[in-house]
């Protein structure tokens, strides 16, 4: 027999561990579910008494009681048996059978306990059924077969009963019950995915801790060996001791970096889950605000209200950008930029209304770098703000920017070094290792994301950040970033007004509200616009336009489409239809590198969300003017 590969064996073991944890969660919640079922069934039977045949109510309640007792006995048997991992599949099936029988009982209540003569009792019946479904969704979410076995009969049978009633009111109630059931199934499925991901992450962290412990034991063994060699070879004492110190320091640094990376990754799971939808909502709000401001008269009193809303929207965008910094896999959108300009802008922002003085020294030949100017500007601003707060009553902050090469590092490529020194209160040694941790702060009212954001941004730019501090003397934060020998082309002056056009554009986005606002913005700029909700519809519209002899001049594609063909696949198919098609990709967040390396995937430009009307105008016009068969106006 051929032995099973190690990776497959580990993956199989991990699945069994996750299943075991999920089954334990189900049985741990079983007693609560059983108690609620018996009480709710008794209350429902009592209130329906007199409107439904007594024998039907009694038989239904007896069935629910018997099923509940059987489920309770199974849960108790599971707890007493303490089965092994390999037996949890069987216990999962037993639990799902009980959940299905309970769900069937509640679904039958929607038919058997249906009071024909009392609309009030009908509403109460379905109110109880809905409440039981909501409660069961949270208890049964650990396993999909469990909540499917309960929710489908409990929700769809009563819905069908209402539809068969035939009149308009009951048909509407039946449709709403069906929609509620489907929505609850989708929501419970997402809760299950969250539980599944959390359990996997928990086991991965456990394995990581075990690996770190093993590494520590190996280090201790190495120390003992070295001590014996020191006793035998006194002449090598100095060299061996120094080498050992470096190895221990490097290992501790690696362990610290690894632990910090795991914390950022945990936060990234949350950030990545909400970033895409959050930025879509911000884009819709911001786009509609700009459209509203254009339509209002300058002296309209509503202008002030809309302006305040726009300010709040911009603050929300800043929060979204901080969350995206931690998003797992989200790469910065890098362009060749001037580090000197970024540092100068950040210093000028700090000087405005500040009591501290800033001594700036920037090398005349400071190299440029491929970076996300907005993110690196946020890094410098956060470090300067921390330095100003550390100074208290005022003083001098020193900012240095120079070219360096690190000969002791593995990477000997040229780098740009930015050092920010303050002469404030310093950082105590006991909290210094934690200053880059998410949500760690010593300042009242602070979010604890400032330095964590700095660390995440620098890491994603393949850079390094070091801190030196002495209490009562001050601190120095040093940021090293990969430099480039290239020089960017002279920037094109920005136009005062949005750039208009008359070309035909095709827009794809799965959010209907976003399609509407983008259609409004582009139409007001003079373009002829068609919209599509996914890749399949986009391709059909593009083929029809080509067949009619009036092809689209450019196509804007949303990168992530829920339940349909996304931007990358759609772009590939459009390139097959027309290799010279002009494509713009747009997204609020992506776990791939499409947004930072868009040309590799066939796109001509990128439009990050949330965007402004001016940004849309500039990107679309630039793509159209750089088309091979077009010339600038």
Instruction: Report pLDDT digits (tens) over 387-445.
Output: 888 887 778 899 999 999 765 555 568 899 999 999 888 888 888 888 887 766 666 65
Across-strand partners of 185? none
Q: Which of 205, 226, 243 is the last residue of a domain?
A: 205
Closest residue by Cα to residue 148 from 185, 120, 119: 185
Maximum pairwise Cα distance, the chain: 102
Torsion of CA 307, 311, 317, 320, to 10 degrees: -130
324 and 391 in a common domain: no
What is the domain range of residue 19? Answer: 6-205
User: What CATH code is carried by the domain that includes residue 501?
Assistant: 3.40.50.2300
User: What CATH code is carried by the domain that includes residue 424?
Assistant: 3.30.565.10
504 and 463 in a common domain: no
499 and 438 in a common domain: no
Whether the CB-CB separation of 475 and 511 falls below 8 Å is answered with no
Q: How far is CA 530 from CA 123, 261, 574, 608, in A?
A: 45, 44, 16, 21
Percent of the chain with pLDDT over 70: 83
Strand 396-404 and strand 415-422: the pairing is: antiparallel
36 and 166 in a common domain: yes
Residues 6+ apart with CB under 8 A from 514: 280, 283, 284, 287, 558
503 and 468 in a common domain: no
342 and 321 in a common domain: no
pLDDT, position 329: 45
Whether 3 shows a pLDDT value over 70: the answer reads no
Each residue of 33-78: pLDDT tens digit? 788 888 888 888 888 887 888 888 889 988 888 888 888 888 888 8
Q: How far apart are CA 382 and CA 559, in angstroms?
A: 31
Within-domain flag for 232: no
Within-domain flag for 210: no
374 and 472 in a common domain: yes
Within-domain flag for 87: yes
Whether the CB-CB separation of 569 and 600 falls below 8 Å is answered with no
If one counts the domains in the chain, the total is: 3
Within-domain flag for 597: yes
pLDDT, position 195: 84
Q: How far apart are CA 143 and CA 8, in angstroms?
A: 23
Confidence of residue 131 (pLDDT cuts 50, 70, 90): confident
Give one word for 618, left, alpha or beta, with left for phi > 0 and alpha for psi -120 to 50: alpha
Half-sphere exposure at residue 236, Cβ-oriented, CA atoms within 13 angstroms: 11
Within-domain flag for 235: no
Within-domain flag for 582: yes
Average pLDDT over residues 334-355: 83
Whether the CB-CB separation of 585 and 562 falls below 8 Å is answered with no
Q: How far apart are CA 570 and CA 366, in angstroms?
A: 42
Strand 464-470 and strand 474-482: the pairing is: antiparallel
Residues 6+ apart with CB under 8 A from 328: 265, 268, 269, 271, 272, 591
Sign of CA dihedral 566, 572, 578, 583: positive
Within-domain flag for 403: yes
Within-domain flag for 231: no
Q: How far apart are CA 336 and CA 372, in angstroms?
A: 9
Whether the CB-CB separation of 342 and 377 falls below 8 Å is answered with yes
Q: How far is CA 80 from CA 77, 83, 150, 428, in A?
A: 5, 9, 25, 51
What does the block give as tokens for 602? 């066939």
Q: Which of 435, 454, 482 is the last residue of a domain?
A: 482
471 and 517 in a common domain: no
182 and 84 in a common domain: yes
Whether 527 shows a pLDDT value over 60: the answer reads yes
CA angle, residues 576, 580, 585, in degrees to nearest 5? 85
Higher pLDDT: 267 or 451? It is 451
Q: How far apart are CA 596 and CA 546, in angstroms?
A: 31
Closest residue by Cα to residue 610 from 276, 271, 293: 276
Confidence of residue 530 (pLDDT cuts 50, 70, 90): very high
Whether the CB-CB separation of 29 and 139 falls below 8 Å is answered with yes
Each residue of 97-119: pLDDT tens digit? 888 888 888 888 888 888 877 77
Across-strand partners of 422? 475
Average pLDDT over residues 308-312: 72
The crossing angle, in degrees rounded to 10, of helices 168-232 and 237-295 is 160
Each residue of 441-479: pLDDT tens digit? 666 655 566 788 888 889 888 899 999 988 888 899 999
- The 10 Å Cβ neighbour count of residue 8 is 9
Higher pLDDT: 276 or 178? It is 178
348 and 288 in a common domain: no
pTM, full prediction: 0.41
Q: How far is CA 30 from CA 37, 78, 141, 575, in A?
A: 10, 11, 12, 55
Closest residue by Cα to residue 506 from 452, 546, 555: 555
Each residue of 228-249: pLDDT tens digit? 776 777 767 777 778 888 888 7
Beta sheet of 583-587, edge-to-edge order: 528-532, 504-508, 554-558, 583-587, 605-608
Sign of CA dihedral 110, 115, 120, 121: negative
326 and 348 in a common domain: no
167 and 138 in a common domain: yes
- The 10 Å Cβ neighbour count of residue 515 is 19
Q: How far apart are CA 254 and CA 379, in angstroms?
A: 23
Q: Which of 171, 205, 239 is the last residue of a domain?
A: 205
């Amino acid at each position: 027999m051929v032995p099973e590969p190690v990776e497959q064996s580990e993956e199989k073991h991990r699945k069994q561990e996750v299943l075991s944890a999920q089954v334990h969660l189900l049985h741990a919640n079983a007693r609560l579910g059983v108690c609620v079922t018996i009480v709710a069934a008794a209350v429902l039977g009592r209130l329906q008494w007199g409107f439904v045949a007594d024998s039907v109510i009694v038989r239904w309640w007896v069935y629910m009681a018997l099923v509940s007792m059987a489920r309770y006995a199974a849960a108790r048997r599971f707890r007493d048996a303490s089965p092994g991992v390999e037996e949890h599949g069987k216990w999962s099936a037993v639990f799902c059978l009980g959940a299905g029988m309970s769900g069937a009982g509640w679904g039958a209540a929607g038919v058997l306990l249906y009071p024909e003569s009392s609309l009030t009792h009908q509403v109460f019946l379905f109110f109880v059924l809905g409440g039981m479904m909501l409660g069961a969704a949270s208890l049964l979410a650990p396993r999909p077969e469990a909540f499917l076995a309960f929710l489908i009969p409990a929700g769809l049978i009563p819905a069908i009963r209402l539809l068969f009633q035939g009149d308009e009111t009951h048909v509407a109630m039946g449709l709403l019950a069906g929609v509620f059931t489907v929505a609850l199934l989708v929501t419970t499925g997402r809760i299950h995915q969250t539980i599944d991901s959390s359990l996997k992450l928990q086991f991965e962290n456990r394995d990581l801790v075990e690996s770190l412990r093993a590494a520590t034991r190996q280090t201790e063994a190495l120390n003992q060996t070295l001590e014996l060699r020191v006793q035998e070879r006194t002449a090598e004492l100095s060299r061996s001791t120094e080498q050992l110190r470096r190895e221990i320091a490097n290992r501790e640094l690696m362990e610290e970096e690894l632990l910090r990376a795991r914390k950022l990754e945990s936060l990234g799971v949350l950030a990545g889950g909400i970033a895409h939808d959050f930025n879509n909502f911000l884009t819709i709000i911001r786009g509609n605000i700009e459209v509203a401001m254009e339509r209002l008269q300058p002296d309209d009193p509503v202008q002030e209200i809309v302006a305040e809303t726009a300010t709040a929207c911009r603050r929300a965008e800043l929060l979204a950008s901080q969350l995206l910094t931690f998003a797992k896999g989200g790469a910065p959108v890098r362009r060749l930029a001037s580090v000197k300009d970024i540092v100068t802008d950040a210093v000028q922002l700090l000087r405005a209304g500040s009591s501290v003085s800033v001594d700036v020294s920037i090398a005349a030949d400071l190299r440029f770098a491929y970076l996300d100017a907005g993110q690196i500007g946020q890094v410098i601003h956060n470090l300067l703000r921390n330095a100003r707060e550390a100074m208290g009553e005022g003083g001098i902050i020193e900012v240095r920017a120079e070219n360096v090469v690190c000969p002791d590092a593995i990477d000997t490529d040229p780098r740009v070094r930015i050092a920010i020194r303050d002469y404030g209160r310093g950082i105590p040694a006991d909290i210094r290792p934690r200053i880059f941790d998410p949500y760690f702060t010593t300042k009242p009212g602070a979010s604890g994301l400032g330095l964590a954001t700095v660390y995440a941004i620098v890491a994603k730019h393949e850079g390094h950040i070091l801190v030196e501090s002495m209490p009562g003397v001050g601190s120095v934060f040093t940021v090293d970033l990969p430099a480039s020998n290239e020089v960017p082309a002279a920037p094109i002056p920005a136009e005062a007004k949005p750039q208009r056009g008359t070309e035909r554009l095709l827009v794809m986005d799965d959010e209907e509200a976003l399609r509407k606002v983008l259609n409004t913005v582009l139409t007001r700029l003079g373009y002829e616009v068609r919209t599509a909700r996914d890749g399949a519809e986009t391709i059909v519209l593009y083929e029809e336009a080509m067949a009619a002899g009036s092809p689209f001049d450019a196509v804007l594609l949303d990168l992530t489409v829920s339940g349909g063909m996304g931007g990358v696949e759609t772009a590939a198919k459009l390139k097959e239809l027309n290799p010279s098609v002009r494509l713009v990709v747009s997204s609020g967040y992506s776990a791939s590198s499409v947004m930072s390396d868009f040309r590799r995937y066939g796109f001509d430009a990128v439009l990050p969300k949330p965007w402004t009307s001016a940004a849309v105008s500039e990107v679309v016009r630039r793509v159209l003017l750089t088309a091979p068969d077009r010339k600038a106006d």
